[in-house]
Amino acid sequence: MRVVSGIQPTGDLHLGNLLGAILRWVRMQEETECLFFLADLHAITVDVDPATLRKNVREMAAALIASGIDPEKSTLFAHSDVPAHPELAWILGCTAKMGWLSRMTQFKAKSGKHKERASVGLFTYPVLQAADVLLYQATHVPVGDDQKQHIELARDIAEAFNHHTGSELFTAPAPYIGGGTAARVMSLRNGTEKMSKSAESDMSRINLTDDDDTILQKIRKARTDPEPLPESAEGLAERAEARNLVGIMAAIEDRSVDAVLADYAGKGFGDFKPALADALIALLSPLRTRLLELRKEEAELDRILDAGAQEAAALAQPTLDAAYQAVGLRRR
């Protein structure tokens, strides 16, 4: 078992990233070999200011370490520091088909109405994402639900490449999605949209850097309905906002939605929201304190990323060489 996953260094971590991916990575590093990277080559598929990107890479490394990623246990690196990623992406881009990429819902969502003006990189980036995991023979890729389609594409590319070259070169990776609602944490303003960094209103998400009072305000103002909480998860089927808040509580406490509801059935959000805010503050406040400390350690963060990149490059090289050879390219 080898775990590989990535995150774009887009400023702040939010609760969706944490519950959907990062806190699961933290648990997995105790059990198996893990590689985690900052997907900075993905970040440039949309307009981003160069100075901001440079700053965000270090900031995201600090945020991951503050959240519990231990660079002694996991390999932590920025994927622009390992040229094997874009090298393999080129080869895999010649296996992937236009039709496969055209079906990617995230491209459709991110390119919006102006597809002609989207970068070619935004369209082909799922191929780079496939290279990110295939390079390391990843068996498990822990992600939130929104990345499932991209990992399935990586599987398709791996199988097509193996078939075409008559090799067993690539391991087909499996998306590894957490149970319950943590797989898709929704906006606090609209229960049908996922919580995301790009949503306009900051009130729609909880950020790792929000102070206790901000967390309390955001939960207090989170959209809900006037009904009391039901006795079991089925009662939340048509109540997207309520389902999201209960799901967040369940994910934080590592309990089922039914177990949380057993404590709150018949009660309203006047009771539930303060308890949820307390649970969030208890989770996030120590992470935030660590992050503020780590931000000052720029040289140490750079050292960690350099060491991680060296380890990753060494692990990637044999697979990259074999891919060149499999398609008939000379490798010295």
Q: Binding of ligand TYM at residue 24 (CB under 6 A)?
A: no
> Measured between alpha carbons, how far is 231 from 244 in angstroms, rounded to an integer?
16
Smallest distance from ligand TYM to CB 122, Å: 11
Per annotation, catalytic residue among 73, 148, 197, 273 = 197
CA angle (212, 19, 281) in 5-degree steps: 15
Smallest distance from ligand TYM to CB 226, Å: 25
Q: Which of 40, 81, 132, 241 binds ligand TYM (CB under 6 A)?
A: 132
Q: Binding of ligand TYM at residue 147 (CB under 6 A)?
A: yes
Per annotation, catalytic residue among 73, 110, 148, 273 = 110
Tokens of 229: 């909480």
Residues 6 or more apart in contact with residue 22 via CB below 8 angstroms: 7, 13, 64, 67, 68, 69
Tokens of 215: 């967390």
Q: Binding of ligand TYM at residue 45 (CB under 6 A)?
A: no
- Is residue 110 flagged as an active site residue? yes
Q: Binding of ligand TYM at residue 6 (CB under 6 A)?
A: yes
Smallest distance from ligand TYM to CB 330, Å: 29
CA dihedral sign of residues 12, 14, 18, 22: negative
| 155 to 184: interface string for ligand TYM, x by CB under 6 A | ----------------------------xx
Q: Binding of ligand TYM at residue 80 (CB under 6 A)?
A: no
> Measured between alpha carbons, how far is 140 from 87 in angstroms, rounded to an integer?
22
- Is residue 197 flagged as an active site residue? yes
Q: Which of 3, 17, 210, 280 binds ligand TYM (CB under 6 A)?
A: 17
Place of tokens 């307009």: 47
Q: Alpha helices of the chain — where are they, by DSSP H?
A: 15-17, 23-28, 40-43, 50-66, 84-93, 98-102, 105-111, 120-134, 148-165, 212-221, 240-253, 257-264, 269-294, 298-326
Count of residues engaged in binding ligand TYM, rule: CB under 6 A: 24
Q: Binding of ligand TYM at residue 133 (CB under 6 A)?
A: yes
Question: Distance between alpha carbon 74 and the CA centroid of its chain, in Å?
Answer: 16
Smallest distance from ligand TYM to CB 133, Å: 5
> Please, which of residues 192-251 interact with ligand TYM by CB under 6 A?
194-196
- Is residue 194 flagged as an active site residue? yes
Residue closer to ligand TYM by CB (options 86, 228) is 86
Calculate the alpha carbon distances from 3 to 26, 70, 77, 136, 276 in Å: 11, 14, 14, 9, 31
Residues 6 or more apart in contact with residue 89 via CB below 8 angstroms: 124, 127, 128, 130, 131
Q: Binding of ligand TYM at residue 5 (CB under 6 A)?
A: yes
Q: Which of 52, 53, 86, 146 binds ligand TYM (CB under 6 A)?
A: 146
Q: Which of 42, 218, 243, 288 binds ligand TYM (CB under 6 A)?
A: 42
Which residue is nearest to ligand TYM, using beta carbons? 20
Q: Which of 35, 141, 304, 315 binds ligand TYM (CB under 6 A)?
A: 141
Burial of 295 (0-12, 13-18, 19+ CB in 10 A): middle
109 φ/ψ angles, rounded to the nearest 5 degrees: -70, -40
From 141-149, 249-257, 275-283, 319-327, give the range in contact with ligand TYM by CB under 6 A.
Answer: 141-149
Q: Which residues bind ligand TYM (CB under 6 A)?
A: 5-8, 16-17, 20-21, 39, 42, 129, 132-133, 141, 143-144, 146-147, 183-185, 194-196
Residues serving a catalytic function are 110, 194, 197
